[in-house]
Amino acid sequence: MNLALFASGTGSNVKNIIDFFKKNETINIVLVVSNNSSAGALIHAKNNDIEQLAIDKAILNESIPICETLHELEVELVVLAGFLLKIPEKFISNFKGKIINLHPSLLPKFGGKGMYGNNVHKAVLGAKEKKTGITIHFVNENYDEGAIIDQFETALSNKDDLDTIVEKIKKLEKLYFPPTIERLIHKL
């Protein structure tokens, strides 16, 4: 099973996934894609001898060439690990049921356009939520609305601030995202 990881930023999740599957003989990360040519995610890929691809919004929106690249590499699952651009419908229909996303809240709360990274955590703080967490879900045409695969939560108190929420979410992501991908692959 070949996976492609898409990421836009520092790439801590890309690193976690690469490390988790490093010794796996059947699940291979064959490509890391980013819309940011200086993304940490691409550096993690390079350090692990994984092919890297920097794309821009126009290439993503064109969809067919990038889908062809993924098919040539026999990619069967596309994992959005902190990827902030919307996946176009053409792309989704080429990889039906084979694109998943990590979102740093308990969807359906705090999802949708503009809800990414710290924007999500600030909204969670502002709403005085008693808990937050992560959601791993299939990607459909609407931001953060695809079928939920799994969710993991963490308690919040009035002592929490942006830094502690980020830390709690990163902990959940490291602990649960890679094994959830593995469990899903075994079901596909």
Catalytic residues: 103
Instruction: Give the x-and-dash track for 63-102 against ligand GAR (CB under 6 A).
Output: ------------------xx-------------------x
Q: Taking the complex as a whole, how short is the minimal distance between the CB of residue 64 and ligand GAR, in angstroms?
A: 24
Q: Taking the complex as a whole, how short is the minimal distance between the CB of residue 72 and ligand GAR, in angstroms?
A: 26
The residue among 65 and 112 lying less far from ligand GAR, judged by its C-beta, is 112
110 binds ligand GAR (CB under 6 A): no
133 binds ligand GAR (CB under 6 A): no
Question: Cβ(82)–Cβ(13) under 8 Å?
Answer: yes
From the list 5-13, 24-32, 57-65, 179-187, the region that binds ligand GAR by CB under 6 A is 5-13
Site for ligand GAR in 134-173 (CB under 6 A): 169, 173
Question: How far does the chain reach from its first CA to its final CA, in angstroms?
Answer: 10
**Cis-peptide, bond into residue 108, ω within 30° of zero:** yes
* Strand segments (E) across 73-166: 75-80, 99-103, 131-138, 148-155
How many residues belong to the site for ligand GAR (CB under 6 A)?
16
Helices (H), 28-88: 40-47, 57-62, 64-72
Q: Taking the complex as a whole, how short is the minimal distance between the CB of residue 123 and ligand GAR, in angstroms?
A: 11
From the list 42-50, 58-66, 114-122, 151-159, the region that binds ligand GAR by CB under 6 A is 114-122
The residue among 75 and 81 lying less far from ligand GAR, judged by its C-beta, is 81
The residue among 24 and 118 lying less far from ligand GAR, judged by its C-beta, is 118
12 binds ligand GAR (CB under 6 A): yes
Burial of 106 per CB tally in 10 Å (0-12, 13-18, 19+): buried
CB neighbourhood size of 136 (10 A) = 23
Residue type, 117: G
Token pair belonging to 146: 């695809």
Question: Cβ(181)–Cβ(100) under 8 Å?
Answer: yes
Identify which of 84, 79, 87 has the alpha carbon closest to the alpha carbon of residue 63.
87
